[in-house]
Structure 1
Amino acid sequence: MSDQGLVFDRALGRLRLKRALAGGYPDFLLQRAAGDLAERLGAVLRQFAVAADLGTPLPVVAPILAGRAGRLWRMAEAEGAPADLVGDLEGLPFAAETLDLAVSLLALHGINDLPGALVQIRRALRPDGLFMGCLLGGRSLQELRQALLEAESETMGGVSPRVAPFADLRDLGGLLQRAGFALPVVDSEIVTVRYPDAFGLLGDLRAMGWANALVARRKAPLRRETLLRAAALYAERFADPDGRLPATFEFVWLSGWAPHESQQKPLRPGSAKARLADALGVPEIRAGEKPVG
């Protein structure tokens, strides 16, 4: 990918993640995602000989796969947490058809080449292997984005990107299909975290290594005037009746299987054995005919 196509400064992002892990990464969002993962995998009635945890910042996946995976490889993207290897989600260190399960929690939203990463995950899976991932979606931090843009416009006469442009739910299903996954499923849920003020949210984002790492960001730090105005706008526009401020995190879940001949396949057009009109007990209207009555 050319420099012009880069969205994130990946080196800066990894440096911030390393510092966050050393400083005590807050795990409340990861624990929520891990709980959701346990529930989703509970519906999959199989064992996995070889599994990989791809880039999840903390080792929250291993307890979920205890007794389900014969071997779990944990790949971290930054040093500072227990891991089998340090790698890159944009250049996976796994050979083709070596994994039966690949999992990634709250990491894929921070890479430049998500389509390429999904292709690599698909290649690393054995036939009938499963991928399940959770990343932040487009509605994440929408309140903070609005407050920062308006505050910067008012105090500096212009704006610069401050919050990442997270992937849209409608686009992700297509990316799974393009990557070659069978039976792709995409869904999302809103997780709302409440804070006494905007500074609490900003503190948590820094503590998770999620401070602004956009390539197009304004390199100078936010002016105090801009920061205070953003905090005031956040409170004015979004405060709950009790005065606390909601912060939206959209969890988008992706799942798909490496193709295998045993998997259910869509029927060929015209192969149906019964008519929908018969099942509904109504007259059939063919193309070009007008309904009567």
Structure 2
Amino acid sequence: MNAPVLRPDSSAATLKRRFSLRLALLLAAVLLLTGALLWFTATAGHALPVDPKMPTDPIDPTAPVDPGAGEGGLTIDINGPNGAPSSAIVTLVGITLLSVAPALLLMMTSFTKIFVVLAMTRNALALPSIPPNQVLAGLALFLSLFIMAPVLADINTLAVTPYLDGGMTFTEALAAASTPLQHFMMANTREEDLALMTRAAGQENPASPDDVELLTLIPAFMISELRAAFIIGFVIFIPFLVIDIVVSAALMSMGMMMLPPVMISLPFKILLFVLVDGWGLIITSLIGSYRMG
């Protein structure tokens, strides 16, 4: 017997019919789901009617809105439940103070004067890099903290502690903290420098020290500090200059003109500075030159 022969046309037609049937079933299912969804939505919309609302009058854009009127006002409370500032606010204030601390240290404390005097002392000894700047800056910093200790204590008592306890706002604490600094700078600022900055700012002479603005007082204080530092530096230079002159004259008289006088005078300068306790004299003079407000 002969084996049956499969026709490729019949198998392709069968697959096509199956695909068409599945596609029709899928479309029917999608249509049924869409119709059911629309029916449920319409039923829910008719089952829950919404009462119409009266239209509101438009707001006049030119009329300012009072933030405290009604329930539309917005208030931000940065303090904690007991009135004290929250830890996040304290951290933010601390970071801000650290960012401006170098400027405050240079402009409103004794750091500038002390550092300039120490640097001029180093130059008078003909030692341009000994001690290094880091050592001089560290010594000036701790001497400034020593001199400013009463002022810092007053700031802590009058401003920092009440603010952390919730007894005053940040603005009030800032004003209270500036008062001890203002008194300190006023006590160590010359009247001539203060008058100079007042005239430069085009302002009238203040009636009392408390009426002096910080924008005028700070540059006047810095000018006074630099003037005092240069005077102290001049006094420090004189004995070392005498040593240089004596050594130069001695070398000239001996005909040793090719020998640098600085090389010979340096040991004598260091010896003199150590014998008279130069660091102690300078630091004592610097500390004693300040008056508390």
Query: TM-score category by the smaller chain?
Result: under 0.3
Q: TM-score, normalised by structure 2?
A: 0.25
Q: Which has the larger radius of gyration?
A: 2
Q: TM-score, normalised by structure 1?
A: 0.25
